[in-house]
Amino acid sequence: MRLLWTHITPRRRLQLLLLVSLMVLSSFAELLSVASLVPLLAVLSDPAGLWRQPWLRPVALALGLTSSEQWIFRPPSC
């Protein structure tokens, strides 16, 4: 591996390091997207379960949400 590394130009080394860095960042983004799927399915299957979470109630009230359906069907405000 070291022999191969010595034959690569410095520009290609930098490109390789940037490529590997982007691949690592991409894998973390993929992990987050897959991990967020389970809570989304839980909310869709039981929207009332959100009100049973004590740490989410203040967030809902601050956003002006009063029912479970508003968590799912509320359009994003810009």
Of the ranges 1-5, 6-10, 42-46, the best mean pLDDT one: 6-10
Can you give 54-68 as a three-state secondary structure string? Answer: CCCHHHHHHCCCCCH
CB atoms within 10 A of CB 68: 16
Number of domains in the chain: 2
For position 78, what pLDDT does the model report?
Answer: 47
Q: Are residues 47 and 72 in the same domain?
A: yes
pLDDT of 32 > 90? The answer is yes
Q: Are residues 24 and 44 in the same domain?
A: no
For position 74, what pLDDT does the model report?
Answer: 63
- Answer yes or no: pTM beyond 0.85: no
pLDDT of 48 > 90? The answer is no
Which residues form the domain of 56?
37-78
Q: How much is the average pLDDT of 19-46?
A: 92
DSSP helix/strand/coil, 2: helix
Counting residues of the chain whose pLDDT is more than 70, the rounded percentage is 90
Q: Are residues 15 and 52 in the same domain?
A: no
Q: Are residues 53 and 18 in the same domain?
A: no
pLDDT of 12 > 90? The answer is yes
Q: Are residues 70 and 42 in the same domain?
A: yes
CB 71 within 8 A of CB 60: yes
What single string gives the DSSP state of each residue in 7-75? TS-HHHHHHHHHHHHHHHHHHHHHHHHHHTHHHHHHHHH-GGGGGG-TTTHHHHHHTT--SHHHHHHPP
